[in-house]
Structure 1
Amino acid sequence: MVRTPLTPQERERGERLGALLRRARGERSMVQVAAQAGLSTETLRKIETGRAPTPAFFTIAALAAALDLSLDDLVQLCRPAEDEEAAA
């Protein structure tokens, strides 16, 4: 199966998600958060660095729960600035 190349917008969204998750993780280690979410540390590392810019919904839901973030907040915080302006 050949994957469709990611658009620049998808890559940017993945980078925003990764930065948000790093901030939310704070002082906790990747190992601790990954274990709490039921993920491998490498999966969390890839998401946080933007190398996995389109993680599965259930992966994001597990990370949100482990980091005490609501999915609604994640959606709002990962939205690009131009989307926020259009919604206002």
Structure 2
Amino acid sequence: MVRIPLTPEQVEAGRRLGALLREARAGRDPELVARAAGISPETLRKIEAGRMPSPGFGTVVGLCEALHLPVQTAASIWLGSADDAEQLAG
């Protein structure tokens, strides 16, 4: 199967999502957060660093649950609507 390259916008969306998740983790042990989300610590590192710009929906949901972060907030950040994310988080 050939993967279609991501657009620059998709790569940037992955960076925004990674930054949000890193901020939401706020110093908590990444291994514990990853395990609670049902993913490997390496996968969490890749997502937070923006090296995995399009994680699966289940992965994002698991991380949101582990971090007590509304999925709507993550979706708004990923879609580039920071104002909406602030309103949802606040």
Query: Aligned residue pairs: how many?
Result: 82
8 Å contact from structure 2 (residues 10, 54) kept in 1 = yes
Q: How high is the TM-score relative to the length of structure 1?
A: 0.87
Residue in 2 that maps onto 1:30: 30
Unpaired segments of 5 or more residues in structure 1?
Answer: none
> Identity of paired residues, percent?
50
Q: How high is the TM-score relative to the length of structure 2?
A: 0.85
Residue in 1 that maps onto 2:79: 79
Unpaired segments of 5 or more residues in structure 2?
Answer: 85-90
- Calculate the aligned-residue CA RMSD, in Å: 1.3
Query: Larger C-alpha radius of gyration, 1 or 2?
Result: 1
**Inter-partner Cα distance in structure 2 for 1:27 and 1:21:** 11
Deviating 4+ runs (over 4 angstroms)? none
Please say if 1:51 is aligned against 2:55. Answer: no
